[in-house]
Structure 1
Amino acid sequence: MKLKMPPYVDRFVDRGGAPRYYFRKRGGPRIPLPGLPWSAEFMAAYKAAAEGQGAVPKGTHAIVRGSVEAAIIGYLGSNDWKQQAQTSRELRKPIIERFRLDYGVHKLRALRRSHVQQIIADKTPSAQSNWLKALRHFAGWAMRENLIATDPCAGVQTARKPQTGGFMTWTEAHVASYRDMYPLGGKPRLALELMLNLGVRISDARQIGPQHIQNGVLTDYRPQKGRTTNGLTINVPVHGDLAKAITAMKVTGATSFLVTSEGNVYTAKYLGQHMREWCNDAKLPECTSHGLRKLCLVRLAEAGCSPHELMSISGHKNLKEVETYTAAASRKKLAVIAMAKRAGIALDVSLPLDKLREAYTAATGAAPVIAGTAA
């Protein structure tokens, strides 16, 4: 039997099938009502709302059904939003809230491609890309919920990003300076060794722990970035440098090697802030945590690893993403081989790059040149 609602009460059923009740007089704010209709808890909140005493947050206003704001409220409570990676939510939440603040009163069905193009027009190329990714995900959810018929983000163009090469790759000199600053036994050193020797992102370095290591191998670990998209698992033997760093720690967590001073697992954002501070204190302001992952792949490529071998470590699905590392390493090897041919020296081309360079130097009798020295 359908239960009759008190005056000015609306009933909605959310995506999980749970009923929601709101009090709203014409033109007034929507005030959520707890409990079931006519219960003591419900009626106490109803009476307070009817008398204008409901707990209405500062800035609360009428939420119009079919508006952008109403859709965003549903989106932020949906599984589509919650199942995104934490880093994606942290990046996109300010964008969605800004979109809600600027355009929330407008009808969602009136949103067109030209509007989205105009919204992102005055932003930097990187900001345009981030805004479009956030709005596309929102629009995809809205289409599945039948709130809009077509995707207003389809065909929207972003400005071309300048080719910066992304995060700077650490050099071996950077690593040496950092290690000199932070000896074994401390969290700064362990953080570096985790990312450098496993090739993982900071979002994974924060949560890898004893349960992930079996017989000296990081076993069947699925990086966080690929967990919502069925990404590949990785199996990476623990390098001796990492094993020493873990063993040297006086305190590690039960589920994560890296823990805060309170014994909690780091969030990616909090660990990233610490890495920024640690690098700055080591006089390495140009270095970032992601640059360690890139150096790991550079080392593998220069040791002669194939793109597929790199992918088994990095977890990449796209071959093109890792081919850049092997291509750069191949060019460096070819340069040594070419100069050896010019000098009439036969080298074992199967050697990794560093050994090949050593062999060339030994064969030519050339001494390393130190910048800034006088003849």
Structure 2
Amino acid sequence: MRRRISTKLKYLSQSGHFPSGNPRLYMGPKGAKRVPMPDAPVDHPMFLSAYAKALASITGADGIDLRLPAPKGSIKDAAQSLLRSDYWRDVLREGTKARRRPEYDRIIEAYGQADLRTLKPEHIRADLKGLKPHARNNRLKVWRSLMKFATEAYSLPSNPALAVAKTQTKKTDGHASWTQADVEKFRKHWPLDSAPRLAFELIYWTGARISDAIKLGPVNVSRDGFLIFCQGKTGAEAYPPFDMGVSPLADQYSSDLHLLHQAIQRRPSRHLTYMTTAQGSSRSVKAASQWLAEKARDAGIEGKTAHGLRKRRTELLIEAGATRDQVKGWIGHESDSMVSLYAKKFDRKRALIGTDRERQSSKFSEKFQQKDEKP
């Protein structure tokens, strides 16, 4: 017996039933010609094939309804223009586009036919109502981006999204950094030939974001012994050492680098990327993040994420005496203030330790101070 699956398909409307008992469905958004669907359950391969064919006939290659009516001056018209613009194609980073695109699609589907000139701040506030603070601010950011583009492209008198205030959020340190005890606990639980251990060692050593770590592989290793990659979020390159002897900092943590190489050598199969599924496929960002957090919990580590490993590596570099530029080169931080923050935290801890060796370098964090920072 074929297993039923839960299926959510857009643009379906029902008009009675077939003699078989199946619903008589038609596919088509409001204002477009509807296409009759076959006499089959919605999760049947025949139905899904027909649905995909009908959807392809009314959508563009980028997945939005480019061939459906988009009245001039409508929200949908503006969104489609933005998605075709040089700004979208050449200016925004891939990570930003990946985060914003689903929100643009949602806005198109929910409000696409509305006239841009009738959009008011209260309409945007209504759309944001009920969202949690960070989700609300993220969606507001998308509205502001869209309406900034529309204001210039359609000569609107003002950007209504600017009149909507952001939600104040509690300042936190974000993802908790891993402790040395966490690191040892994870390593004890997961053997070197396991996928979780390889993922851990890779992120722990490189300090890469999970979105970049899933793309790393042998192709990123340079001839001079670095693991070079361009960060998806910022576009800046990172240069964590990959071979012994290429950096004094790497030599200070040679045991970590040695464990990474062991984990790579012991992986059961070879692929273009180091982090893969059991089937050999590359992992997605969201799935990889949730997967690694789950593996940490399996090892008895609660509340720690892949990004916490990035923080830990930054802390270790600071503790090893790395300069600001060395930290930025390894981790890929673009902001001097971010490195300065880590340096200040470590300098406070060092002051409390109070050993002769620590006191000799008590001005360590001064070299991280920004020029415009007051003493």
AA partner of residue 77 (structure 2): A
Is the alpha carbon distance of 1:281 and 1:216 closer, same or farther for their aligned partners in structure 2, counting shifts above 3 Å? Answer: farther
What's 2:112 paired with?
104
Please state how far the C-alpha of 1:96 moved relative to its aligned partner: 3.0
> 1:203 offset after TM fit, Å?
1.1
**Unmatched runs of 5 consecutive residues or more in structure 1:** 1-26, 33-53, 341-345, 353-375
* Counterpart contact for 1:302–1:330, Cα < 8 Å: no
Equivalence for 1:221: 229
Tell me the amino acid that sits aligned with residue 132 of structure 1. Answer: L
Counterpart for residue 261 of structure 2: 243
Shift in CA distance, 324/64, structure 1 to aligned 2, threshold 3 Å: same
Distance 1:158 1:28, change over 3 A: closer
Q: What do residues 92-122 of structure 1 show as CA deviations (whole Å, max 9, x unaligned)?
A: 3443344334433321123244543554355
Counterpart in the other structure of 1:65: 72
Deviation, structure 1 residue 351: 7.6
TM-fit CA distance, 1:150: 3.8
Distance 2:215 2:140 in 1: 30
- Asked if 1:171 corresponds to 2:179, the answer is yes
Superposition pairs of residues 43-122 of structure 1, within 5 angstroms: 63-76=70-83, 80-81=87-88, 84-85=92-93, 87-113=95-121, 115-117=123-125, 119-120=127-128, 122=130
Matched position secondary structure for 2:239: strand
Taking the TM superposition and a 5 Å limit, the aligned residue runs for 1:1-375 are: 28-29=31-32, 63-76=70-83, 80-81=87-88, 84-85=92-93, 87-113=95-121, 115-117=123-125, 119-120=127-128, 122-143=130-151, 145-146=153-154, 148=156, 150-215=158-223, 217-227=225-235, 231=236, 233-238=237-242, 239-253=257-271, 255-337=272-354, 340=355, 346-347=356-357, 349=359
Would the alpha carbon gap of residues 148 and 218 (structure 1) be closer, same or farther in structure 2, given more than 3 Å must change?
farther
**Distance between the aligned counterparts of 2:88 and 2:278, measured in 1?**
31
Contact residue 189 and residue 299 of structure 2 kept, 8 A:
yes
Cα pair distance change 1:186/1:264, threshold 3 Å: same
Q: Is the 8 A contact 1:252 1:258 kept in 2?
A: no
Structure 2: unaligned runs, 5 residues or longer: 1-29, 36-55, 60-64, 243-256, 363-375
* 1:285-341 per-position Cα deviation (integer Å, ceiling 9, x unaligned): 31111111011111112222233322122212211122211111111111112xx5x
Amino acid at match of 2:300: K
What code does the residue aligned with 1:237 have? P
The alpha carbon displacement at 1:152 in A equals 2.9
Matched AA of 2:32: P
Counterparts in 2 of 1:237 and 1:144: CA distance versus 1, 3 Å:
same
Is the contact between residue 239 and residue 331 of structure 2 (CA under 8 Å) also seen in structure 1? no
The one-letter amino acid paired with 1:138 is L
Cα gap change, 1:186/1:332 in structure 2, threshold over 3 Å: closer, same or farther? same
Alpha-carbon offset, residue 243 of structure 1: 1.7
Quote the offset at 1:350 in angstroms.
5.4
Structure 1: distance between partners of 2:89 and 2:301: 36
Q: Which amino acid aligns with 2:263?
A: A
Query: Among the aligned pairs, what percent are the same residue?
Result: 26
TM-score normalised to the size of structure 2? Answer: 0.67
Q: How far is the alpha carbon of 1:275 from its aligned partner?
A: 1.3
- How big is the alpha-carbon RMSD for the aligned residues of Structure 1 and Structure 2? 3.3
Q: CA deviation at 1:158?
A: 0.9
Matched residues, number:
292
Q: 1:330 to 1:242 in 2, by over 3 A?
A: same
Q: C-alpha distance in 1, partners of 2:85/2:33?
A: 20
The structure with the largest alpha-carbon Rg is 1
CA distance, structure 2, for counterparts of residue 303 and residue 350 of structure 1: 15
Structure 1 partner of 2:47:
none
